[in-house]
């Protein structure tokens, strides 16, 4: 089926108490593994490409890959820009056919984050594409921030309410104790903070940096109101470790198919496990019934 937008996915997840998995892909094999896993689990899935991933593989190139995979898939697949840190990158991905955007203004002060997020939202909504934003700060280098210091980066429920109301954003990534690039599951989530934000914010909530979060905490976060969970480091680790193992056993291998196929399989199994952990397995049919294709928005009158 054609690429779909994320809005229906997250609404369904919110209503039914599960989370949609958003998995990063940096090349063909990673994207294939993600979609293959979703099909095996009959789950909706978000294939996301970070700004760094785009600089590596290209915005249009990755869009073309995921579009082809989605067209052949039996489950809803969305293509999401992960951590677009400026307006221009978001517009590049909007033009390339991404069906979900993210503006990450977490490095800015509150007012600047509101201002630029609102600009991205206005442009994207004009053609029916949803936007995720980030408030608070999910640290990108766990070696530089002690777990005990994370509280000062966390999202304020009061600011979250104001931010959503002023920007009209479709989903909100919140900082509640996770960190990007964690290779061990040592993050401690502030579940009560998630609940407090859920009480004052109507849009779906997103958890970044899930690779470092223990499984039980993931389940508690979903119960507290998280509807979308991002995973990258754990997938990249599985993918790379499989390649390393194969090449260490036979250093004469030069055919990339010999190790990329196995790496794709390892990533696929990792994604399948995450989908089941998030409770998204078997949810594809429900999402398919409520999803609206992005092209159906085009031409609608925009009401201020």
Query: Catalytic positions, please?
Result: 82
The Cα 150–Cα 5 span in angstroms is: 32
Q: Is the Cα dihedral 164, 170, 176, 178 positive or negative?
A: negative
Write the DSSP string, 152-214.
Answer: GGSPPHHHHHHHHHHH--SEEEE-SS--TT-SSS-----HHHHHHHHHH--SPEEE--GGGS-
Return phi, psi of residue 239, to 5°: -60, -50
Tokens read off for 62: 């990755």
Helix residue ranges, H only, the chain: 7-16, 28-41, 51-57, 59-72, 87-96, 110-125, 157-167, 191-200, 215-224, 233-249, 256-278, 284-290
Whether residue 174 contacts residue 160, with contact meaning beta carbons closer than 8 Å, is answered with yes
Angle between helix 191-200 and 215-224 (nearest 10): 20
* Entry field: residues in the chain: 304
Angle between helix 59-72 and 87-96 (nearest 10): 40
Tokens read off for 199: 């009480």
Whether residue 2 contacts residue 261, with contact meaning beta carbons closer than 8 Å, is answered with no
Return phi, psi of residue 36, to 5°: -60, -45
């Amino acid at each position: 089926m054609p690429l779909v937008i994320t809005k229906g996915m997250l609404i369904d997840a919110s209503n039914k108490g599960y989370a949609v998995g958003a998995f990063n892909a940096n090349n063909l094999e990673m994207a294939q593994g993600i979609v293959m896993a979703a099909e095996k689990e009959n789950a909706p899935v978000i294939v996301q490409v970070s700004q760094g991933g785009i600089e590596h593989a290209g915005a249009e190139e990755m869009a073309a890959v995921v579009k082809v995979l989605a067209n052949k898939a039996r489950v809803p697949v969305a293509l999401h820009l992960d951590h677009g840190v400026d307006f221009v990158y978001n517009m590049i991905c909007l033009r390339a056919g991404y069906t979900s955007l993210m503006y990450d203004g977490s490095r800015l002060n509150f007012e600047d984050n509101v201002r630029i997020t609102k600009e991205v939202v206005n442009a994207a909504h004009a053609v029916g594409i949803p936007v995720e934003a980030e408030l608070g700060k999910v640290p990108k280098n766990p070696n530089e921030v002690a777990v005990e210091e994370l509280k000062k980066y966390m999202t304020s429920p009061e600011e979250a309410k104001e931010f959503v109301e002023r920007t009209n954003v479709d989903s909100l990534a919140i900082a509640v104790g996770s960190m990007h690039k964690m290779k061990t599951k040592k993050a401690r989530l502030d579940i009560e903070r998630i609940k407090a934000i859920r009480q004052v914010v109507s849009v779906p909530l997103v958890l970044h940096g899930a690779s470092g979060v223990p499984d039980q905490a993931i389940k508690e976060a979903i119960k507290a109101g998280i509807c979308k969970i991002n995973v990258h480091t754990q997938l990249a680790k599985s993918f790379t470790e499989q390649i390393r193992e194969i090449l260490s056993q036979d250093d004469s291998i030069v055919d990339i198919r010999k190790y990329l196929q196995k790496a794709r399989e390892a990533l696929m199994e990792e994604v399948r496990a995450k989908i089941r952990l998030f409770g998204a397995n078997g949810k594809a049919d429900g999402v398919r019934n409520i999803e609206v294709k992005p092209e159906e928005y085009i031409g609608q009158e925009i009401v201020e």
